Amino acid sequence: MAQGQMAPGIVSGRLSSDELTSNFTDLHPPLAPHEAAVAADRCYFCYDAPCVTACPTDIDIPLFIRQIQAAQPQAAARTIFDQNILGGMCARVCPTETLCEEACVRETAEGKPVEIGRLQRYATDTLMAAGEHPFDRAAPTSKSVAVIGAGPAGLACAHRLAMLGHDVVIHESKPKAGGLNEYGIAAYKSTNDFAQAEIDWLLKIGGIAIETGSALGDGISLDGLVQNYDAVFLSIGLAGVNALRAQGADKDGVRHAVDFISDVRQADELAKLPVGRNVVVIGGGMTAVDAAVKSKLLGAEHVTIAYRRGRDAMGASRYEQDLASSQGVRILTNVQPVAVHGNGSAAEIELEYTTSAGGSLTGTGETVRVPADQILKAIGQTLEGAPEGLELDGNKIAVTGAGRTSVTGVWAGGDCAAGGEDLTVTAVAEGRDAAMDIHANLTT
Amino acid sequence: MADLKSNFLGISSPNPYWLASAPPTDKEYNVRRAFEAGWGGVVWKTLGAEGPPVVNVNGPRYGAIYGADRRLLGLNNIELITDRPLEVNLEEMARVKADYPDRALIASIMVPCEEAAWKAILPRVAETGADGIELNFGCPHGMSERGMGSAVGQVPEYIEMVTRWCKQYYDRPVIVKLTPNITDVRKPAAAARNGGADAVSLINTINSITSVNLDTFSPEPSIDGKGSHGGYCGPAVKPIALSMVSEIARAEATHGMSISGIGGVTTWRDAAEFISLGCGNVQVCTAAMTYGFKIIDELTAGLSEWMDEKGYTSIDEVIGRAVPNVTDWQYLNLNYIAKAKIDQDQCIKCGRCFAACEDTSHQAISISDDRVFEVIDEECVACNLCVDVCPVDGCISMVQMDVGEIDPRTGKTVEPQYANWTTHPNNPMAKAAE
């Protein structure tokens, strides 16, 4: 029986513990002080800087980089946290290559932007390592707000409300707070249990209680919350996953990529985590790349991303695509799954070539079979479990202004709310802005 | 290839780059390395009088000012003249000169302001075979408090007197090194000429404190919690040096005097600028201390390349070329009118020109919603600040308006004739135009 990477089926222990530890260390190691100084010196302190415009949370990037230049990384961190209390996680997971760093004028000038993300991490890590929480609570207002979901939007909203003197209770359905920061983000971007450390640090503001294992519909209802609290913020994320419409999609070995990623994030021992020898990931977004790269890092011999459209249409940035390629992931484009073959368990996936001629995607009839003992579906998440009575906008909760839903006293933000990209940083911005709107509403 | 051979005061060297009297020229080992690297000459680290040598501090001697990426822009030092015995230095100088007869070797000297002291040391220096001497009247720290260095350089009468002694007791070229820590550098230069000096060299270092330690509140460099002003040098002082050199080059009392240019020479271009302002050669220190002796390769190749491009075949053809163009403000042509022009293809949209102009100047640059920056000719006074703060070389330029065009700022037609402040109607002292 073949061992290691060559072992057939979905098995654990393809790589040694040492190899796994090495594979799952920081993908982008933090900047040392000298590196940070060199990187910071490249910032031009632009007028009305394009990087700030590109940042969903409007962090004053030239200011915080100038503060690093001036040898005050902790002051830089305060500048960041003023706008984005999860600036530490965003520094790790933001697709900066399509946000601030894409807008950087040195990208225009030299094709090499200022390393804003890594500088942000340098600043925020420095402050957080000092164990300080940089904000004080305002005097208590005796108002209380319920936040549903302890993901980035909920945490950002709760922190801002607590800072303004309101009491906050967060209901979180999962055993741990953090949302996708805890269960979704690629493990090689958030090492050393950073998500939980960040939450512990964030909660130092005081005034925030988190009740885990507490979900809407499970003893709590929106009506009840509206009655018991002065305001409600919904940040329930996208709990549902799209189904794969292909023959044989119910065979063993076919599962949702988000579940796989969650397993990796929650694994006590990576060596015990099973992964296929031939993994095929269906989809073209960040989840697909994360799942594919993780599979490879766990020791899968062959990992393929199969995406139904061309590279340019992929949700994952070119940078993320290149990351996958550099880890040995093959990216197949313009193919869609039509059947999963195998005797009980998946053994092969049959993909049909597609064409987008005329605007609509159609199969060409030509197919190819790729060995696949594990198939990970990363074809999008959907809103699930939204309370009755809320107006929807497409598949998401409809909001106006700073996250106001159709129900008075109820706000929503993050992935569950319509508008904005499904990014951590966008969720933080929406949570923060909703908090400011709630605050204005409660104090006038 | 242009000939870089230098003949300064009859002292020949293969190129016009001498290492200035400073730490890099304190001993035989360093000077041999410099000559092997290709330097044209050295001015040996300043010799003191016979007897126990001076002592230096045993803590930091240097402080620095940095630009982006910790690029050293200015260096400050509190080191004194050589702290090695006179005999040792003289022996080493003689050995080195014998081994490198084609290189210039100059002895820098600083002894008390007494005729006997100079009379005593000069014959001994002459015995080494050195090509000339440089009188250190510039050192601003330590020695000046003992009545030497810049304490002499700040009193033209002393300069003249000591120079005269040197010309009397020494038969090779005498160069007087000037301090910039003075109001009008033309005065000491004229004094040197009156004393018979063959040349002046300038600038020596500038009184400076590079920074203050905000934990201990000691100036840097700090010695046991205290600091003292040192001598500032490096790229940051070049503009001051160029100005002082030009003053001497064009002043009536000193016009035509040989000058050895010193002060922040870092690349070939700096050297060409000093030479064009009237210097017969240049002396380098901080650049060598920052990057090592190998920079001589760029200094010589670059100067040669530029001379080839311009068709100059010898250094002599370059000396003083810019001097006639140095004038007083009152003679600048007020009918020369320019406007800033931004090359949109080169613009990277950082907006620094806008911030500078809008906040601190003339509100003459506009910004559009999509970050296109354009000059408003009606407001632009051609101050050049936008050019200076733009990170892209060549993106913004000053374009001269043609005669006959109307300056949209003033509504006046650009006149063809030269006209300056001396005849301007706003000048209460204006002379009537002839």
Contact B350 A41 (CB under 8 A): no
What are the distances in angstroms from CA A270 to CA A11, A178, A195, A281, A289?
12, 21, 18, 20, 19
- pLDDT at position B433 over 90: no
% pLDDT > 70, chain B: 99
Please return the burial class of B183, using the count of CB atoms within 10 Å of its CB with bins 0-12, 13-18 and 19+.
exposed
- Residue A4's pLDDT band, with cuts at 50, 70 and 90, is confident
DSSP letters spanning B321-356 = TTGGG---GGGS-TT--EEEEE-TTT-----HHHHH
Q: What confidence score (pLDDT) does residue A187 get?
A: 77
Residue type, A389: G
List pLDDT tens digits, range B45-85.
Answer: 999 999 999 999 999 999 999 999 999 999 999 999 999 99
Q: What confidence score (pLDDT) does residue A50 get?
A: 97
**Which of B69, B70, B352 is the closest to A46 by Cβ?**
B352
Could you say which DSSP state residue A345 is in?
Answer: B
Residue type, B373: F
- pLDDT at position A113 over 90: yes
Measured between alpha carbons, how far is B120 from B112 in angstroms, rounded to an integer? 11
**What is the rounded average pLDDT of the residues A122-126?**
97
Please return the burial class of A214, using the count of CB atoms within 10 Å of its CB with bins 0-12, 13-18 and 19+.
middle
Neighbours of B326 (CB within 10 A): 15
Mutation target vs A (from B342, B350, B393; most A CBs, 10 A cutoff): B350
Q: Which of A103, A100, A106 is nearest to A56 (CA)?
A: A100
**Which of A50, A106, A109 is the closest to B371 by Cβ?**
A50
Question: Which residues does chain A have within 8 Å of residue B355's beta carbon, measured at their own beta carbons?
Answer: 47
List pLDDT tens digits, range B84-128.
Answer: 999 999 999 999 999 999 999 999 999 999 999 999 999 999 999
CB distance A318 to A211 below 8 Å: no
Distance from CA of A93 to the nearest CA of B (A): 26
Contact A41 B352 (CB under 8 A): no
Contact B367 A48 (CB under 8 A): yes
Measured between alpha carbons, how far is A389 from A178 in angstroms, rounded to an integer? 27
DSSP letters spanning A133-188 = ----PPSP-S-EEEEE--SHHHHHHHHHHHHTT-EEEEEESSSSS-THHHHTS-TT
Contact A47 B392 (CB under 8 A): no
% pLDDT > 90, chain B: 94
Which value does ipTM take for this structure? 0.90
What are the distances in angstroms from CA B383 to CA B340, B353, B389?
8, 12, 12
Q: Which of B125, B112, B114, B250 is nearest to B190 (CA)?
A: B250
Measured between alpha carbons, how far is B124 from B120 in angstroms, rounded to an integer? 7
Question: Which residues does chain B have within 8 Å of residue A37's beta carbon, measured at their own beta carbons?
Answer: 70
List pLDDT tens digits, range B190-222.
Answer: 999 999 999 999 999 999 999 999 999 999 999
Task: Locate all alpha helices (DSSP H) within A299-412, ordered by sequence.
Answer: 318-326
CB distance B12 to B57 below 8 Å: no
Q: Is A106 on the interface with B (CB under 8 A)?
A: yes
List pLDDT tens digits, range A324-367.
Answer: 999 999 999 999 999 999 999 999 999 999 998 777 899 999 99
Question: Which residues does chain B have within 8 Å of residue A108's beta carbon, measured at their own beta carbons?
Answer: 348-349
- Residue B150's pLDDT band, with cuts at 50, 70 and 90, is confident
CB distance A351 to A365 below 8 Å: no
Measured between alpha carbons, how far is A421 from A414 in angstroms, rounded to an integer? 9
- Residue B432's pLDDT band, with cuts at 50, 70 and 90, is low
Contact B351 A37 (CB under 8 A): no
Contact B348 A108 (CB under 8 A): yes
Measured between alpha carbons, how far is A29 from A5 in angstroms, rounded to an integer? 27
Question: Which residues does chain B have within 8 Å of residue A63's beta carbon, measured at their own beta carbons?
Answer: none
pTM reported for the whole predicted model: 0.92
List pLDDT tens digits, range B259-282.
Answer: 999 999 999 999 999 999 999 999
- Residue B143's pLDDT band, with cuts at 50, 70 and 90, is confident
**SS3 (DSSP) at A220:** strand
Q: Which long-range contacts (CB under 8 A, 24 or more apart) does B262-265 make?
A: B262/B20, B262/B177, B262/B201, B262/B202, B262/B203, B262/B204, B263/B180, B263/B202, B263/B203, B263/B233, B263/B237, B263/B238, B264/B233, B264/B234, B264/B235, B264/B236, B264/B237, B264/B238, B265/B238, B265/B299
- Residue A1's pLDDT band, with cuts at 50, 70 and 90, is low
Give the A window 221-280 contacts with B, CB below 8 Å: none
Contact B351 A41 (CB under 8 A): no
**What is the rounded average pLDDT of the residues B169-195?**
97
Q: Is A66 on the interface with B (CB under 8 A)?
A: no
| Residues 6+ away with beta carbon under 8 Å from A262 | A183, A184
Mutation target vs B (from A47, A51, A104, A105; most B CBs, 10 A cutoff): A47
List pLDDT tens digits, range B372-406.
Answer: 999 999 999 999 999 999 999 999 999 999 999 99
**What is the rounded average pLDDT of the residues A122-148?**
96
Catalytic residues of B: 139
Contact A44 B70 (CB under 8 A): no
Q: What confidence score (pLDDT) does residue A357 get?
A: 78
% pLDDT > 70, chain A: 100
Please return the burial class of B50, using the count of CB atoms within 10 Å of its CB with bins 0-12, 13-18 and 19+.
middle
Peptide bond into B65 cis (omega under 30): no
Chain A residue with minimum CA distance to B392: A109
